[in-house]
Structure 1
């Protein structure tokens, strides 16, 4: 199945590495003009340059998406580059402290909520009005398997991802009749830089927790993201799609 986004403008947050990088590269390969947004401007530039080097269209965008003014600016940059905004991937996320709730640092809670939840709301808040002006669009919010199950010592992350699913369903209901689809993806544990600082043996334990016998790779998530953004998924709205190697089937 060949998916083309020729003539479409896409904004991907957290696109400087990992899942976001894979999504941005895949969108660029499929013909979209991609705004590669990341808090690390150097990484954003590198990914945008790779898309352009492969004869695609891209430009970097930098900033902390937990700041609403940054998200508003990124949407404006997408409009300036492409004249419209067709596709949004709210992908930016952080893991946060790994401690029990009774010991959870207050600043850590706010930081996780700011990046993993507030930024998704800001993306919806500023992108949807622009999509409505040009006939609609498609949005994917990056959740997690931890949007449907818990994990000890990851209270803020789990809470944010559960709430993200509520935002996804609400937005989908509000704008279904106006040609904007909103869906969420729940990756299992993906082999990205977020896992680089695991203690010895932890990665092997995560692999064993996935029935397929491996961690996911970013391209697994990118493939599903492109499908959900495409017209092939035109009747899919307000849904939560796992890409977890069977983790949640246990």
Structure 2
């Protein structure tokens, strides 16, 4: 598929998914969300892709929110359908993906942009980045998982403060709250994202997928996270990667995992 709003770049086993709407501060419109669904679904299925880095073009914005013009004339049913479709096809797809996804937040991550970053497994930020969920200033609330994921990441009280005040926070504050794991100068952001992902990609791919699945289970209502962990732990014993990992450990060499 030829994308109109995304750039896809492959660097060895890392795939970059870059939102390319710089003139609109990389805002998420329907077409961009549809392309993100296609891009991530393809990346998760592609055996040549080990992990993904998502970022935005330009120095100003990762994603500065959703395209509000598309919301203006929606009613209750259409608004509900919009949130459900976006959550299922993009945000939950990323969160539940079988490969690690790092959000490299290079500028404003507001509204749906912060929700997109929060759906990723790891977030790192530029010193110039600012983050927030300003939906209440429009008479709305976050609709792409923001009320749930922000509270999971930084705690209920601080999440409610951010959502109810609609205030933006700096990258340093986001690091203090646990919303991002590292803050770097702008020119180092993607270099450090690659270094982090390359370290992860030295590990067993099936074990990475099992770990993501197990951690997510603990935050899913009605699911026994401990039970999922036990089941995933057991499944790992049936993989060739487990046998390779143990052999490499005993032989004091680096493991050569194949995702089998």
Q: Normalization by structure 2: what TM-score?
A: 0.32
Larger radius of gyration between Structure 1 and Structure 2:
2
Q: Normalization by structure 1: what TM-score?
A: 0.33
* Greater relative CO, 1 or 2 (CA 8 Å, sep 6+): 1
